[in-house]
Structure 1
């Protein structure tokens, strides 16, 4: 490893599995001390122990729902007390809500926005005091290709992800002169545990997996590590002049015209 994050302190939400877990593993290997936050307490405890054993980095497991602002503030305060500061925030916690607009229940709408948009803001607002005090900080929000292209049957998830990209751009401009960068990543279909569960629910999982791969120019589905490496770049000082920007990671699918 190149130790591109040597000495940095990062907090990652949704760290228990999938993209968040892949980012945590890569960041630890690259020299960062970590606070790993997830609703699955056992998963982040296990991951924290494994990464500390493998890399020697400090890893603080945190159990929280990003919709709970008070709990998030407490977790961020604990992170600063334990690690000294927060240099990097990765907002990876998210939830899929795909419903027919006319049958969508108010609780489903609220959950979609509470996790995917308001939850990210809870974490950013909790991290900003430490970052502003040090005049240094990188925020990377995990958005979605749904924030760029509309896929029928996915409402209201794209609305929240459009909002997350807007939040990224707005805050990136707002705090640029104070040493804070805010960027986002928009993954397409990535082979996460959630994607595996969705495929398993299909009548013919293997046929659907092949159909999804065939829709992509490269004829393969993305891997969590490929998103993690982009997050690493954006969170590092190598990207110090990249701000208020979203990077698509979808194998080119969103650029392909489907007749």
Structure 2
């Protein structure tokens, strides 16, 4: 039997009740980690993933990443339950797409509160524990929007560009103290949110095919494919990878035109 890649590790995965976060939590538990699940809601999805992974392997903490005190409490609960924190996956995020001049101040502030401040709040909460043990891996879920600008998506790309900058800066800042900080930039991934969006289109199947045809590989990505990359970056297999972003978009961002 192969060694479990995260055996003995403790991971926090924010926004882990659906989509990429849930797929990551499942992959981590399969590879031997104890996982602290998180969402700003304690809803049916939270209860389902908690039951699926079991109380022996997981702990659910309801907390909004935009609230720094809540993130400090989440980290404290993780240590109290499992004794340490080895891995943080900053997956929680939200889409805010608006016309720049019609966007409200509240939309701008909420976008950055979740997509940028939320990552920093969680990272700042776990860094003291990681620094004390001179080891830790932080993986931030950024976006292809952090590399290419898509019209009509402001201000989301601004936050994701900043997130990649935060990743690189923290990775360099703590490299000599045993901490690695990397990011993943997914393209179109078939999460529950994307499935709902496709279902809302006048012709869901036609729109799904249109989106797939835009991708060089001819298909939409899966949450599990992002999760496997997060697993690699979090594991000791990636111990010489730091301050790096990995695109998972089927090659879409490399196209010059449609």
TM-score class, shorter: over 0.9
1:14 aligns with 2:15: yes
Alignment of 1:173-212 (within 5 A): 173-212=172-211
SS in 1 for 2:54: helix
**Cα separation, 2, equivalents of 1:46 and 1:126:** 26
Mapping for residues 51-66 of structure 1, pairs under 5 Å:
51-52=53-54, 57-66=56-65
Structure 2 gap ranges (5+):
none
Gaps of 5+ in 1: none
Deviates more, 1:37-46 or 1:199-208: 37-46
For residues 164-207 of structure 1, what are the alpha-carbon distances to aligned partners after superposition, in whole Å with 9 as ceiling and x for unaligned?
00000000000000000000000000000111111122222111
Whole-angstrom distance in 2 between the partners of 1:23 and 1:80: 20
What TM-score, normalized by structure 2, do the two folds share? 0.97
CA offset at residue 51 of structure 1? 1.1
User: What is aligned with 1:166?
Assistant: 165
Provide TM-score, normalisation by structure 1.
0.96
Aligned counterparts, 1:129-144, within 5 A: 129-144=128-143
Find the aligned partners of 1:236 and 1:75 in 2 and give their Cα distance: 22
Determine the C-alpha separation between the residues in 2 that align with 1:197 and 1:237.
36
- Give the distance between the partners of 2:111 and 2:201, measured in 1 at CA: 23
CA distance in 2, matches of 1:215, 1:114: 31
C-alpha deviation, 1:59, in angstroms: 0.5
Moved over 4 A (4+): none
Q: Give the RMSD, CA atoms, in angstroms.
A: 1.1
Describe the superposition over 1:28-66 as per-residue Cα deviations: whole angstroms up to 9, x where unpaired: 00000010011231333331221128xxx5201010111
Counterpart CA distance in 2 for 1:61 and 1:208 is: 36
Confirm whether residue 242 of structure 1 aligns to residue 244 of structure 2.
no
Give the total of aligned pairs: 256
Q: 2:134 and 2:42 mapped to 1: Cα distance?
A: 32
Query: What is the deviation of 1:2?
Result: 4.6
- Distance in 1, Cα, partners of 2:128 & 2:51: 28
Q: Which residue of 2 is the match for residue 154 of structure 1? A: 153
CA contact (8 A) 1:16 1:40 kept: no
Q: Secondary structure at the match of 2:220?
A: coil
**SS of aligned partner of 1:41:** coil
Aligned residue in 1 for 2:31? 30
Question: For residues 42-53 of structure 1, what are the structure 2 equivalents within 5 Å?
Answer: 42=43, 43-52=45-54
Counterpart residue number, 2:93: 94
